[in-house]
Amino acid sequence: MKIYILSTSDTHGWILPTNFVGNNQAPFGLSRAKTAIEEFKNAHPDDVIFTVDNGDFIQGSPMTNYIARDHREFVGVYEELANQMQYDIRTLGNHEFNYGSEYTKLAIPESNNILTANIHKNGNNFYENSYKIIERKGVKVGFIGLTTEYIPHWEKESNVSNMEFQNPVEIAKKLVPIVREQSDFVIVMYHAGLEYDSNTGEATEVITGENRGYELINSVPGIDALVTGHQHRHIAQLINTPFGDVPVTQPGQKAEEIGVISIDINSKEAQAKLILTKDFSPNLKMIKSIEKIQTGLNEYLDTKIGEFDKDYLFINHFKARKESHPIIDLVNKVQGKAVNASISANAIFNDDLPGFKKEITRRDLVVNYLYPNTAVAELVSGAELLAALEQSASFFVIENGKITVNKKFLEPKKQLYNYDIYSGIDYELKIENPIGSRVVKASFNGHSIAPDKKYKVALSSYRSGGTGNYSMYNSKKIIEENPKDIIELLEEFIVENTPIKLKVPNNLKVK
């Protein structure tokens, strides 16, 4: 007999198999995962199976934004979906706090299967339980739920006021022995990922504490399996540690995969794999349960709010990052206007952004600007602004005589959203120069950026915390902020200024 841990993580509210752009069915969605898990359970009637979710469940899709911003009467759908999935254990992700901790509790009501061992509010556990032990068929399995401690670096202070996110490794050192004493197997669920290469032990990112999965299993004995998430990576492997091999999974995002960990109850032999959900039909009951929401959402998304003079599509995302693009320039200017800053920076988040056709609907907005960021302005020195440009310049490398993307922005996780494009300044990057000395020209209002002069720079609330290795930015440097989501600011601008004719920006040169 085996125990199986079936996990979803980072589903981000993607229930139907759709990307909201066209009518084609997408190869992901919780409704597909539901079918895959049901079929797996039916195929293993004699085994012990646990189904778990590893966080980022209530934010990240047009549906989640629609509910959080305008239709909180539908917030109970998340609990209904979780019940349909029959999750035995759940933990929280960092995006659970994007709309504030009160909304978190509204969308995910208190339950003894929600584990938040390292999250506290007003000195108490955010949810009641840190761990839970479940006995099935005579086998006791203990679960511990942990979340990345890095959340305060991303979130607005008001979203996580009076909250403490503790070091998950230190918490695990205390809890694993307690759970071990009462259980046959100990499973740690950790909404974060691996910070070192599991084979070489070499760092795969700047070590900040955001991800501690590798440290966790290499410094805490007694862990039989680790379920990870957050990084949207595709991981299913046994990782050698001083305490033996530990199975680790991370099932991507949007329920595109299910993590499967198996442990033989007698031999203790463990395995890990991923199941692609694209091969499974969407669960009809789940589709039916969100039908009313989806109908209203589609009407909302298809409402025309304005128009451009022509199409402004992202035909070549790489070229757009090298030369800027009318749409990113528009986002920058709207963001800058919201906080009275002439210099503004944003990213082309991924290579799936379609851009805009001439007629603009809300659907165009939500598929092009994906996150509930707000606009802030920081006062930074010229030296810090130049350092930020250098960090962005590290996005590029030269291979075989051609400029391409630095693999550090592609592996082990794509981080295209960590390359910023600026408006309001003129700047030139020379990629053949060493990283750190690639900004060969940078000027503001016709004058070279002076290292000792102060500049007001508009940023997203995400970037303002210094994330993405932009340590020169810091929320303590914020001098102005706008409480509206950037997507709301964009809609207001479009409604007020339609029809809109955009200019092709020419302020960035990458050579």
CATH of the domain at 242: 3.60.21.10
Q: Give the C-alpha separation, 119 to 124, whole Å.
A: 8
Four-residue CA torsion sign, 415, 369, 150, 463: positive
CATH of the domain at 445: 3.90.780.10
Show the beta-strand stretches assigned E in 122-232: 124-125, 131-136, 139-147, 163-165, 185-191, 225-228
Indicate if 290 and 318 belong to the same structural domain: no
Burial of 421 (0-12, 13-18, 19+ CB in 10 A): buried
CA-based nearest residue to 416, from 444, 396, 387? 396
Where does the pLDDT of residue 23 fall: very low under 50, low under 70, confident under 90, or very high at 90 and above?
low
Q: Note the pLDDT of residue 25.
A: 86
Q: What single-letter amino acid sits at 376?
A: V
Three-state SS string across 11-61, please?
A: CCCCCCCCCCCCCCCCCCCHHHHHHHHHHHHHHCCCCEEEEEECCCCCCCC
Indicate if 119 and 245 belong to the same structural domain: yes
Last residue of a domain, one of 269, 296, 323: 296
Q: Give the C-alpha separation, 9 to 344, whole Å.
A: 33
Q: Give the C-alpha separation, 150 to 417, whole Å.
A: 18
| DSSP code for 503 | P
Which pLDDT tens digit goes with each residue over 228-281?
Answer: 999 999 999 999 999 999 999 999 999 999 999 999 999 999 999 999 999 999
Indicate if 292 and 308 belong to the same structural domain: no
pLDDT at 22 > cutoff 70: no
Q: Give the C-alpha separation, 221 to 242, whole Å.
A: 8
180 near 202, Cβ under 8 Å? Answer: no
Q: How far apart are the first and last CA of the chain?
A: 61
| Structural element, H or E, at residue 320 | helix 317-323
Range of the domain at 394: 303-510
Last residue of a domain, one of 280, 296, 312: 296
Number of structural domains (the chain) is: 2
CA angle 128, 130, 133 (to 5 degrees): 105
Indicate if 435 and 290 belong to the same structural domain: no
Indicate if 58 and 191 belong to the same structural domain: yes
Indicate if 360 and 492 belong to the same structural domain: yes
Q: Give the C-alpha separation, 171 to 266, whole Å.
A: 29
Indicate if 31 and 180 belong to the same structural domain: yes
Percent of the chain with pLDDT over 90: 91
Which pLDDT tens digit goes with each residue over 475-487?
Answer: 889 999 897 889 9
Where does the pLDDT of residue 155 fall: very low under 50, low under 70, confident under 90, or very high at 90 and above?
confident
Q: Which 3 state secondary structure label does DSSP give 164? A: strand
Indicate if 124 and 198 belong to the same structural domain: yes
Q: Give the C-alpha separation, 393 to 176, whole Å.
A: 43
Q: Give the C-alpha separation, 414 to 231, whole Å.
A: 9
Which pLDDT tens digit goes with each residue over 57-103?
Answer: 999 899 998 999 889 999 999 999 999 999 999 999 999 999 999 99
Which pLDDT tens digit goes with each residue over 132-145?
Answer: 999 999 999 999 99
Indicate if 103 and 200 belong to the same structural domain: yes
Indicate if 187 and 332 belong to the same structural domain: no
Whose tokens are 């100990």? That residue is 186
Q: Note the pLDDT of residue 481.
A: 86
Indicate if 292 and 307 belong to the same structural domain: no
Where does the pLDDT of residue 24 fall: very low under 50, low under 70, confident under 90, or very high at 90 and above?
low
Which pLDDT tens digit goes with each residue over 308-363?
Answer: 999 999 999 999 999 999 999 999 999 999 999 999 999 999 999 999 999 999 99
Last residue of a domain, one of 251, 276, 296: 296
Indicate if 319 and 405 belong to the same structural domain: yes
| 88 token code pair | 């035995």
